[in-house]
Amino acid sequence: MDATTQRWIKDYAYYLRMERQMSPHTVASYRSEVRDFFEASGVTPTDAGPDAVMDYLAERSDKVSKRTQAHILSSLRSFFDWMILEGERKDNPCDPVEAPKLGRYLPAVLSEEEVTSILESVNLSDWAGLRDRAILEVLYGCGLRVSEAVGLRISDVYLDEGFVRIIGKGDKQRIVPLGEAAADAVRAYLAARIAPADTESEDILFLNRFGRSLSRVSMFNMIKAQALSAGIRKEISPHTFRHSFATHLIEHGADLRAVQEMLGHESILTTEIYTHVDSSTWQASVLEHHPRKG
């Protein structure tokens, strides 16, 4: 890969971060996919054509999932759109390339009874148990992403008012109601919370045993261990609680738009797929409100 291509990729990454306001993780992901394409294909950003893109995707198809292939294509399309914006190209070689067909990915859903079992299985005899119970209550009660839960700050939790302020993808803020059970769990944890290790950790809600921010991996491991302790054998993660939160809300009659706002989805289509509800629930709702019901 020549120096000019490297410079363009660097400038593209700067554009994503500063003008598109993408997170460092997203920028790194896009940059990596674009760099890998040019290193493998041997073409330059100005002479790359649809054939080069299709050949590269075909070569990767045996090694990565369709979802990853779609992400690669999206990254390349974004890069070449930027090249057009910069006046370096007049066309996007990804336009004729068809994205791989993706099936619906529906993560495991916990029943309300399973959620209760996990919550009640937590040992509340020490500060760590109180923290874990608060994490689970907030994940399920607010439908947070794991990154949002890990980064949650005490100053963004309004216990008396009953809501939390979340900084989500793209640094967008949203307000999510905080139920009584979750608020009580957070209060109990805060009363026993260990001292933060430094000033940077003072406002972080969920601390590890060293007094610093709990990692995503630690939160994943805690949830898996707690599910096993409750006798749940499903493959679950923090995302499972987010999905269950949305599903249970809709099953109980919550408006899809309200769920969309709480989850922080830009498109209602994402929420419709994500909140996959048993068809019998929809059928009952439709029949109940149908103008021609008997």
Q: Is 21 left (phi over 0), alpha (psi -120 to 50) or beta?
A: left
* Cα–Cα distance for residue pair 131/129, rounded to 1 Å: 5
Cβ atoms within 10 Å, residue 185:
24
User: Which residues on adjacent β-strands are paired with residue 176?
Assistant: 164
| Nearest C-alpha neighbor of 20 from the set 82, 86, 68 | 82
Structure tokens at 211: 């007094």
Active site residues: 145, 169, 239, 242, 265, 274
Q: Is residue 26 a contact partner of residue 75, using CB atoms and an 8 Å limit?
A: no
| Nearest C-alpha neighbor of 147 from the set 268, 272, 238, 244 | 238
Structure tokens at 125: 């005899």
Q: Is residue 201 a contact partner of residue 209, using CB atoms and an 8 Å limit?
A: no
Strands laid side by side in the 163-167 sheet: 157-158, 163-167, 173-177
